[in-house]
Every structure is written in structure tokens, then in C-alpha cells.
Amino acid sequence: MSADILLQHLNRVKRTGQGRYMARCCAHEDKSASLSVRELDDGRVLVHCFAGCSVEEVLGAVGLTFDALYPPRTDQHIVKGEKRPFPAADILRAIAFESTLVLIAGADLLAGNPFNETDRARLALACSRIQAGLTAGGITHD
């Protein structure tokens, strides 16, 4: 498959580099681009939702299966995994958006505006997305 088959099912697709795209995730109600799609030179397609949706959820939302992420199989070569499959720029964009949300929440709290349950849930989601971005970038907390 080429990434085009998946990309045609997505909204707000933006090319961020050669074979690299960000789009709204189709597996959840996405208000900003949180889905990274990357097509590798060997034809494999990598998919990562910084909001935490699994690849299965993303593919299922558009009626595709895992087979769609890989070129036809041959026994002639073995493909190595990617060490850093997602470009730093895509990861930083996702983290920047979520950190802005955290900043706004902090300012509201300092202004004396208490959080309701929805606010707390969204702040927790922002923290989770930031952690997912760090993990995708190969940064771990020990």
C-alpha cells in the first residue's frame, strides 16, 4: 500500500516532509492533527496517533487492516525496524499544541477558576499526549 490509500480517508491532511503527513485522527473526535503517517522508502506505512488511539482503531475507522500498511511480501529481504519512526517536527508540533493547553489551564487555575470534571479530563489527556510524544521520540523518564 502507499500512504495515499490511508490519507484519502483522513481530514485536514498536511504534508510535513517527504512521505510524511499529519492529519486529524479518524478513530476519535480530533480537533487538531494528532495522527502521524509516514511512508518509508521500502513501502511500509507507519501510523501513530499522539492522542493514544491504537493502529487497529485508526485502521478500523477507515475499513483497512494491517496488511494495508505493508508492501506485498517477498522472501528476498529482511526489513529492519525504524529506530525513530516519527519525525521530530511532527512530535514537537503535537507536544506544542498540548503544552499550550496545559499553559492555558494553569493560567485559569492561577486566576481562581476551578476545574470542572471535563477540564480535569482534558488536562489529563494533554499530559498523556505529551508523554506519548516523548515516548515516540525515544525519550523516557527513569
Tens of pLDDT, residue by residue over 51-87, are 889 999 999 898 988 887 887 766 555 666 666 667 8
How would residue 110 be classed by pLDDT, with cut points 50, 70 and 90?
very high
* Confidence (pTM): 0.56
Least confident of 27-31, 109-113, 120-124, 136-140: 136-140
Strand order across the beta sheet in which 35-39 lies: 11-17, 20-24, 35-39, 45-49
What angle do the packed helices 117-136 and 88-110 form, to 10 degrees? Answer: 150
